[in-house]
Amino acid sequence: MIDGLKVPADPVTNTLVRCFMNRPEAMLPFIQRSQGESRELLARVASEIATPGMADEMILLAADARPEVRAAAAKALAVAPLALAIPALGDLVRDEVWFVRLRATSALNQIPHPRTIPIVLEAVRDANRLVRMRAASALAKFERETVDILQSVVDSRDRYALHAMISALDLGGGFDKVMAELADPLLHDEAAARLLDALRESAAGLWTTRPADPVVESVFP
């Protein structure tokens, strides 16, 4: 609000993005001095144009008291150096606010590195369905680690997480591939046989009678 004039956030955000597009770091002093709604808006702008050089400031924003600011920081951390991004996103995946966890999981989805797998395995067991599905999509990209990932999910005894993984793999055409791999008679692996049985049972339940999800928020801000 400027002198009693209330301006919608979206036009201001778009204007600031255009202003700072060529020099994103120039907005950092303004973020550091901002408070309240202005801080939320500037954090949102930063999340759209963040560079690796802004990682330290984004980590500070990731600890902000406002969930909207933390969510913006999570989005920005997708472009940060791995050594900084992964621990920070690991903390945000455990945030008390669901849409912060969703943004953190979405950022991890953009980091195709196996070091993210343990964190995303936590997210795929989240109470919120949107977080679980985003996490499953991220995990489904790790084709070489798919069997180990599925074994971890089965071992967690979380049927919602397993259903999310099966759905994500099936959507990308990878579920039949992993089932064929586990059923290969040349494998002769007792652990693989047990995993195959667990996947068959879960898939049958998923595609016949879908269990009701826990009640969660369904609107992303």
Domain ranges (residues) in the chain? 1-111, 112-221
Confidence of residue 188 (pLDDT cuts 50, 70, 90): low
Measured between alpha carbons, how far is residue 187 from residues 155, 176, 190 in Å?
21, 17, 9
221: pLDDT strictly greater than 50: no
Task: Report the percent of the chain where pLDDT is more than 70.
Answer: 89
Confidence of residue 7 (pLDDT cuts 50, 70, 90): low
What type of residue is 174? G
173: pLDDT strictly greater than 80: yes
- Please give the pLDDT value at position 79: 95
Residue 124's nearest CA partner among 103, 107, 138 is 138
| CA 195 centroid distance within chain | 26
- Please give the pLDDT value at position 81: 95
pTM summary value? 0.85
219: pLDDT strictly greater than 70: no
- DSSP state string for the chain: -BTTB---HHHHHHHHHHHHSS-GGGGHHHHHH--HHHHHHHHHHHHHH--GGGHHHHHHHTT-SSHHHHHHHHHHGGGS-HHHHHHHHHHHTT-SSHHHHHHHHHHHHT---GGGHHHHHHHTT-SSHHHHHHHHHHHTT-GGGHHHHHHHHHHTT-HHHHHHHHHHHHHTT-HHHHHHHHH-TTT--HHHHHHHHHHHHHHHHHHHSPPPPPP------
Confidence of residue 93 (pLDDT cuts 50, 70, 90): very high
Provide mean pLDDT across the span 102-116: 96
Mean pLDDT of the chain: 88
